[in-house]
Amino acid sequence: MGDFDGKVVYITGIARGQGRKHAIRFAREGASVIGLDLCASPSEHVGYKSATEDDLAQTVEKVRAEGGEILAEIGDVRDLAFQQDLVARGVEQFGGRLDVVIANAGICNWGKVWEIDEQQWQDTIDINLTGYWKTLKATIPHMLAADNGGSIVLVSSVAGLKAMPVQSPYSASKYGVVGLAQTAAKELGEHRIRV
Ligand SMILES: NC(=O)c1ccc[n+]([C@@H]2O[C@H](COP(=O)([O-])OP(=O)(O)OC[C@H]3O[C@@H](n4cnc5c(N)ncnc54)[C@H](O)[C@@H]3O)[C@@H](O)[C@H]2O)c1
């Protein structure tokens, strides 16, 4: 018996890191997992190593080793239509419900406010903030249709609570996530969905 037996979870950025850990833990608790990951470089301004298709395959293997079902695909959170299609297929495959959403896929990069270039700013906002809104747009209608209540988690950062030097697009995106989450919470409370 797990805390999430029979429930369905959608998680973005599941190939590695925190997203992978969320997927494994939910599977251990009995949930079915829907997830995506880019598995490639998200921006020329991300200097650290990208997740790979092999990382995503390992997540799938680890979720199944916990006895969990998973629908995992390569995709970009910036692509609203892709997220909508993946979530719709996952909800259908796992019994017509969606209980938990975790917007997790994010990038980080560095540079002073006046030294970063336009694309660096835009890529960070597009993924970390607009990408999260696209995740909400793709998922909330399914939660409302199932009328089961549920939980949505938008992963912010300490940089969304306190300014971090040389991380202005990251910090701005993560402060934005806090505002997005609090607004969605006020809109969804009456539907028993916690954000
Ligand atoms: N690691 C930390 O110390 C830390 C601290 C605070 C907040 N966070 C936040 O936690 C979340 C996860 O961080 P992490 O440390 O596990 O990072 P990570 O880089 O290990 O994992 C992020 C995953 O998201 C994927 N991804 C990136 N852009 C994508 C896109 N456009 N579409 C689909 N997938 C995409 C990556 O391929 C990667 O697999 C992020 O939102 C991050 O900002 C992390």
Structural domain boundaries of the chain? 8-194
Q: Cβ atoms within 10 A of the Cβ of 115, count?
A: 10
Instruction: Report how far ligand 1's centroid is from the alpha carbon of 43 (Å).
Output: 13
pLDDT value, residue 160: 97
User: Which residues surround ligand 1 with Cβ inside 6 Å?
Assistant: 12-13, 15-19, 36-38, 42, 50-51, 76-78, 104-108, 127, 131, 155, 157
Residue range 37-85, pLDDT digits in tens: 999 999 999 999 999 999 999 999 999 999 999 999 999 999 999 999 9
Residues annotated as catalytic (active site), given as ranges: 170
* Domain over 8-194 is classified CATH 3.40.50.720: yes
Q: How far apart (Å, rounded) are the C-alpha atoms in residues 58 and 126? A: 27
Instruction: Report how far ligand 1's centroid is from the alpha carbon of 30 (Å).
Output: 24
Instruction: Report how far ligand 1's centroid is from the alpha carbon of 19 (Å).
Output: 7
Q: How far apart (Å, rounded) are the C-alpha atoms in residues 125 and 144? A: 27
Beta-sheet pairing, 70-74 with 193-194: unpaired
Q: Cβ atoms within 10 A of the Cβ of 123, count?
A: 19
Long-range Cβ pairs for the range 46-55 (8 Å, 24+): 46/107, 46/108, 46/109, 46/123, 47/109, 47/110, 51/13, 51/15, 51/16, 51/17, 52/15, 55/15, 55/16, 55/20
pLDDT value, residue 1: 85
Enumerate residue ranges in the chain where pLDDT < 70. none
Angle at alpha carbon of residue 40, lines to 51 and 163, rounded to 5°: 70
